[in-house]
């Protein structure tokens, strides 16, 4: 296609996400050139732009023409599979790029790959951004949450475009310059880890309501719809309500009951947990959600285990019966509160992971601003992110969300319900690893004295690792075994 004037921006990689983001940009009035090695993808995108009333979108089959169709300094978004395809696409395009031009990788890339590419691009004078894009296919088309990190100049060059293209919420567009280096990718990774946690917690709420409360899919649809009008209002609660409503076209009942209970994953949740371990940050709720995905994958083993343990005398029915009848109304209200409190703890973990990485890398991440850009567009968008934003605005050095005075009050109000739900689930033999992890995190964090003294004593006994005392400074070592024998002997002597 011929275009006399030059395009403001380019996009390479026209799978559905790429196509949708390109159409979104064109619709906001920014002329865009698009490219894909598979030329049919280019033609498909051009046809879609024509269908949507002639959006200013121009297709190119040759990478050179594509690059030369852009006004300088050029900005090119690439949306291809993370890893090697990104390097290949950069290699194809960078031959035609000139100093000052920028590459913006919109994939779910490992942050260190972005940092490597930033240094590889710099000798040629090329700028580089690693930009997290959340919201799925629909978000890309209607307004995603964007998390760009890397070259500030590259961001400034397209800030007007990104601000228009991103989801819009009451306090602005869901985009901000996240920070230097791989900060944008890292923030997107933690976003996905939090998303794992949210999905796990919702699935546990479902399990308790269904298995202990005996609620039908219709009941669940109504409850989630109702929850979506209150403090839990969020994209994930909303879509969950919809899921319960869909009938199975191949048989009786609803589709959700026919879906194999095996969860897939693409790796960002695992990276989040690995990073938490690297940084010595506790992220038990996110880790529990990852573990649950692993265990869900062992479908055949679990079926066999169910048989073996039933033979051994562990019965689901007996466990369920052991907790007796429940007051449904109260259970529903308790589960709502347990879900909310568990969520706060999960977000606290994600935020603390971001802060730890920011300190290690000198990224200067603004946690309140990150909560703000997650308010719209992305998968974890939720009303309650506004409260997180405000908590960090009130106190930027808040060590943990749960000690913000407002969240602390909310936790206090909900802890009774939370403990009832977890206790009930444990009694009934329903695993709630996410809710339990959040509650344990809460109880561990809020207790000023933990049994860690005993662990220190053990370490000192077998490894002379030394310990500190609560009543005097310094580091101490004790000959535990010898003293224990002496005192045994002493005890003996008295007898
Ligand atoms: C083009 O399309 C194919 C197939 O959809 C995809 O695998 C490839 O990564 C795309 N991107 C580029 C830049 O060619
Ligand atoms: C921020 O929170 C910490 C921990 O609760 C507290 O010590 C500090 O005084 C707070 N700062 C402000 C400005 O409120």
How remote is the CA of residue 450 from the centroid of ligand 1, in Å?
54
Residue 289's alpha-carbon distances to 29, 332, 419, in angstroms, are 41, 22, 19
Work out the mean pLDDT of the chain and round it to a whole number.
96
My answer on whether omega of the bond before 73 falls inside 30° of 0, hence cis, is yes
Share of the chain above pLDDT 90, in %: 96
Closest CA to ligand 1's atom 2: 38
Residues 303 and 327 sit within 8 Å (Cβ to Cβ):
no
Closest to 100 (Cα-Cα) out of 153, 137, 57: 153
- The pLDDT of residue 491 is above 80: no
Catalytic, out of 41, 188, 343, 389: 188
Does the beta carbon of 92 lie inside 6 Å of ligand 1?
Answer: no
Q: What is the pLDDT of residues 172-193, one digit of tens each?
A: 999 999 999 999 999 999 999 9
Known catalytic residue at 369 = no
How are beta strands 32-35 and 102-105 bridged, if at all?
unpaired
Distance of CA 55 to the CA centre of its chain: 33
- Give the H/E segment covering residue 130: strand 127-134
Q: Which ligand is in closest contact with the Cα of 88?
A: 1
- The count of other CB atoms within 10 Å of the CB of residue 439 is 23
Q: How far apart are CA 190 and CA 134, in angstroms?
A: 12
Residues 472 and 492 sit within 8 Å (Cβ to Cβ):
no
Share of the chain above pLDDT 70, in %: 98
Catalytic, out of 27, 109, 115, 195: 195
Q: How far apart are CA 438 and CA 31, in angstroms?
A: 47
Q: What is the pLDDT of residue 155?
A: 98
Q: How far apart are CA 438 and CA 444, in angstroms?
A: 10
- The pLDDT of residue 82 is above 80: yes
- Give the H/E segment covering residue 452: helix 452-463
How remote is the CA of residue 413 from the centroid of ligand 1, in Å?
51
Known catalytic residue at 226 = no
DSSP string, 240-251: HHHHHHPBPTTS
Residue 404 CA, closest ligand 2 atom number:
5
pLDDT tier, 413 (very low <50, low <70, confident <90, very high otherwise): very high
Q: How far apart are CA 414 and CA 411, in angstroms?
A: 5
Closest CA to ligand 2's atom 6: 398
Closest CA to ligand 2's atom 4: 398
Closest to 272 (Cα-Cα) out of 200, 341, 337: 200
Residue 397 CA, closest ligand 2 atom number:
1
- Give the H/E segment covering residue 218: helix 217-227
Q: What is the pLDDT of residue 1?
A: 45
Q: Which ligand is in closest contact with the Cα of 401?
A: 2
DSSP string, 399-436: S-GGGSHHHHHHHHHHHHHHHHHHHHHHHHT---HHHH
Closest to 340 (Cα-Cα) out of 223, 192, 231: 231
Closest to 351 (Cα-Cα) out of 177, 480, 190, 198: 190
Q: What is the pLDDT of residue 495?
A: 43
Closest CA to ligand 2's atom 10: 395
Q: What is the pLDDT of residue 38?
A: 96
For residues 291-317, give the mean pLDDT.
96
Q: What is the pLDDT of residues 226-253, one digit of tens each?
A: 999 999 999 999 999 999 999 999 999 9
Q: What is the pLDDT of residue 267?
A: 87
Q: What is the pLDDT of residue 265?
A: 81
Does the beta carbon of 405 lie inside 6 Å of ligand 2?
Answer: no
Q: Which domains does the chain have, with CATH numbers?
A: 9-181 (3.40.50.720), 188-445 (1.10.1040.10), 453-494 (1.20.5.320)
- The pLDDT of residue 404 is above 90: yes
Q: What is the pLDDT of residue 14?
A: 98
Q: How far apart are CA 398 and CA 391, in angstroms?
A: 8
């Amino acid at each position: 296609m011929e275009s006399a004037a030059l395009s403001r921006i380019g996009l390479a990689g026209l799978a559905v996400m790429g196509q949708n983001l390109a159409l979104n940009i064109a619709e906001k009035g920014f002329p865009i050139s698009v490219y894909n090695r598979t030329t049919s993808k280019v033609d498909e995108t051009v046809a879609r732009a024509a269908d949507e009333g002639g959006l200013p979108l121009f297709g190119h089959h040759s990478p050179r023409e594509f690059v030369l169709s852009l006004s300088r300094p050029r900005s090119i978004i690439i949306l291809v599979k993370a890893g090697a395809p990104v390097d290949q696409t950069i290699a194809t395009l960078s031959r035609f790029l000139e100093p000052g031009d920028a590459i913006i990788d919109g994939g779910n890339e490992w942050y260190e790959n972005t940092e490597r590419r930033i240094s590889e691009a710099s000798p040629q004078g090329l700028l580089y951004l690693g930009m997290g894009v959340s919201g799925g296919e629909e978000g890309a088309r209607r307004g995603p949450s964007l998390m760009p990190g890397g070259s500030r100049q590259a961001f400034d060059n397209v800030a007007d475009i990104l601000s228009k293209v991103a989801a819009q919420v009451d306090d602005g567009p869901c985009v901000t310059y996240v920070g230097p280096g791989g900060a944008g990718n890292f923030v997107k990774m933690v976003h996905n880890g939090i998303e794992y946690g949210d999905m796990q917690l919702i699935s546990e709420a479902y399990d308790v309501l269904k298995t202990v409360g005996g609620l039908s899919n219709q009941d669940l649809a109504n409850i989630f719809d109702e929850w979506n009008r209150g403090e839990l209002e969020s994209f994930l609660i909303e879509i969950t309500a919809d899921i319960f409503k869909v009938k199975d076209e191949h048989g009786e009942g609803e589709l959700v009951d026919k879906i194999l209970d095996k969860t897939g994953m693409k790796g960002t949740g695992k990276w989040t947990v690995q990073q938490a371990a690297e940084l010595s940050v506790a992220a038990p709720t996110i880790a529990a959600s990852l573990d649950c995905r692993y265990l869900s994958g062992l479908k055949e083993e679990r079926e066999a285990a169910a048989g073996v343990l039933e033979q051994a005398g562990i019965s689901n029915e007996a466990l369920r019966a052991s907790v007796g009848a429940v007051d449904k109304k109260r259970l529903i209200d308790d589960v709502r509160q347990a879900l909310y409190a568990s969520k706060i703890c999960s977000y606290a973990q994600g935020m603390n992971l971001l802060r730890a990485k920011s300190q290690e890398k000198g990224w200067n991440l603004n946690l309140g601003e990150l909560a703000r850009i997650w308010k719209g567009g992305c998968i974890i968008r939720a009303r309650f992110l506004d409260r997180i934003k405000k908590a960090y605005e009130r106190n930027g050095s808040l060590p943990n969300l749960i000690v913000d005075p407002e969240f602390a009050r909310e936790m206090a109000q909900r802890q009774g319900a939370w403990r009832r739900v977890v206790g009930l689930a444990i009694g009934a033999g329903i695993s709630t690893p996410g809710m339990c992890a959040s509650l344990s995190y809460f109880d561990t964090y809020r207790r000023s004295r933990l049994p860690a003294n005993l662990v220190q004593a053990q370490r000192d006994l077998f490894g002379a690792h030394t310990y500190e005392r609560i009543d005097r400074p310094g580091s101490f070592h004790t000959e535990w075994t010898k003293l224990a024998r002496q005192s045994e002997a002493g005890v003996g002597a008295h007898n």
